[in-house]
Amino acid sequence: MSELSEKKPFAAVREYGEALLWALAFALIIRAFLVQAFTIPSGSMLQTVQIGDFVLVNKFVYGVKIPFTDSYAFRGEDPERGDIIVFKYPQDTSIDYIKRIVGVPGDVLEMKDKKLYRNGQLVQEGYVQHTRAHTQYDNFGPLKVPADSYFVMGDNRDNSLDSRDWGFVPRGYIRGKAWRLYWSWDSKTNTPRWSRIGSLVE
């Protein structure tokens, strides 16, 4: 009897430990290959994405990467115009940015007086806001998006450092497609933005 009673606590601890390890491994797999959470610290994507939004990013949709590299084990869908993506900032890959794709490989882009033209056609951008009459980025191009690269811009167009400033985003730098808000916190009022929680990012 005493021998059995001594083994039971040890067995319980081992079972809990194994369950915890399995849960941790499962969470790491999800984070590495499927979904990862990011917070929004700046206003470059206003009003689409707010400061204090917490975003779930679909990492699987564009393919699965070889761990600790920017190379794909296999590719999924190609990123599309209009996708909001999280990616490694090309000038400092330790930092993550969130922007909207406005140009895919082969597109010819030009901006005239804050209006974006793609392949010679005016792009209707209902999601964009302008807050200043003039900036140094109101005009550029024409320029062609190279292979395996993307041109991105913030929806808060006059307050966004993006491809107009530092160039194209290599496909391998893209972490995933912004999918859904799982939390939103308004630091000005110190209250949750209940109406935003669970909404799609688009």
Helix (H/G/I), strand (E/B), else coil: 138: coil
CA distances from 55 to 36, 129, 187 (A): 8, 21, 16
Catalytic residues, by residue number, are: 44, 99
Name 85's Cβ contacts closer than 8 Å, sequence gap at least 6. 79, 98, 99, 100, 101, 150, 152, 169, 174, 175, 176, 177, 178
CA distance 109 to 88: 22
Counting beta carbons within 10 angstroms of the beta carbon of residue 87, is it exposed (0 to 12), middle (13 to 18) or buried (19 or more)? buried
Contact 87, 96 (CB under 8 A): yes
Residue type, 114: K
Torsion over CA: 52, 64, 168, 125 (sign): negative
Q: Is the peptide bond before 91 cis (omega within 30 degrees of 0)?
A: no
